Amino acid sequence: MASKNNVSLASLDQKLAMAKRCSREGVVAGAKAAVAATIATAIPTVASVRMLPWARANLNPTAQALIVSTAAGMAYFIVADKTVLATARRNSFNGGASVSSNINA
């Protein structure tokens, strides 16, 4: 009975380590995507406010910040979600064989 408990605890520890690694990869990938989306939306937004009379009249700084932050937030959550799902899928096909070597990484 004790060996069954040890095996199940070890299995749970492996699953927890795999889940932490999947979520960390998702956070890193999402942050990179958010930075790219911020740059990709901030430059045209600021340029349009400076050059176009309509944008100058209708897009105050709050609206500009909302445009940029919405794009960054969407990019973060979409990429993080896809990364976590892809990592979990990859680990489920591998059977978690590589988890024990990456626990301390």
pLDDT tens-digit readout, 37-59: 999 999 999 999 999 999 999 99
Angle at 68 between CA 66 and CA 72, to 5 degrees: 115
pLDDT range class, residue 91, cuts 50, 70, 90: confident
Summarize the confidence of residues 81-88 as an average pLDDT: 92
Is residue 67's pLDDT more than 70? yes
Looking at residue 6, its pLDDT comes to 63
pLDDT of the residue at 7: 64
pTM for this prediction: 0.73
Please say if the pLDDT value at position 105 is more than 60: no
Q: What is the mean pLDDT of the chain?
A: 85
Residue 102 has pLDDT above 60, yes or no: no
pLDDT at residue 104 tops 80: no
